[in-house]
Amino acid sequence: MSLVIAFASLIIGFALLTKGADYFIGNSAVFAEERGISPHVIGVTIVAFGTSLPELLVSVISSFQDHNDLALGNIVGSNISNIGLVLASAGFIFHYTLRSRIEPENNVNMDSYVMLAAALLLLWFAQDNLISFSEGFFFFILYILYLVSLYFRSSKKPKGSEPETNTSYPFLVGGLISMLLGAHLTIDSAVEIASQLGVSEIVIGLSVVAIGTSLPELAGTVSAVRMGHKEIAIGNVIGSNIANIFLVMGILAMINAVKVDQWVLDITLPLLILITVATLGLIRVPFGRLSGSILFGFFILFIYELTIL
**Across all residues in the chain, what is the average pLDDT?**
77
Contact 79, 244 (CB under 8 A): yes
pLDDT score, position 264: 82
pLDDT score, position 21: 62
CATH class, 3-307 region: mainly alpha
User: Using one digit for the tens of pLDDT, what is the confidence trace for 50-76?
Assistant: 667 666 766 666 667 666 666 677 788
User: Using one digit for the tens of pLDDT, what is the confidence trace for 80-92?
Assistant: 988 998 888 888 8
For the chain, domain boundaries = 3-307
More confident residue, 25 or 119: 119
Once rounded to an integer, what is the mean pLDDT over residues 273-299? 91
User: Using one digit for the tens of pLDDT, what is the confidence trace for 148-193?
Assistant: 888 787 665 545 445 455 666 777 677 777 767 776 676 677 667 6
Q: Is the pLDDT of residue 140 over 90?
A: yes
pLDDT score, position 144: 93
More confident residue, 162 or 309: 309
CA distance 120 to 251: 18
| CB-based burial label for 81 (10 Å; 0-12, 13-18, 19+) | buried
pLDDT score, position 171: 72
Query: Within a 10 A sphere around the Cβ of 195, how many other Cβ atoms?
Result: 15
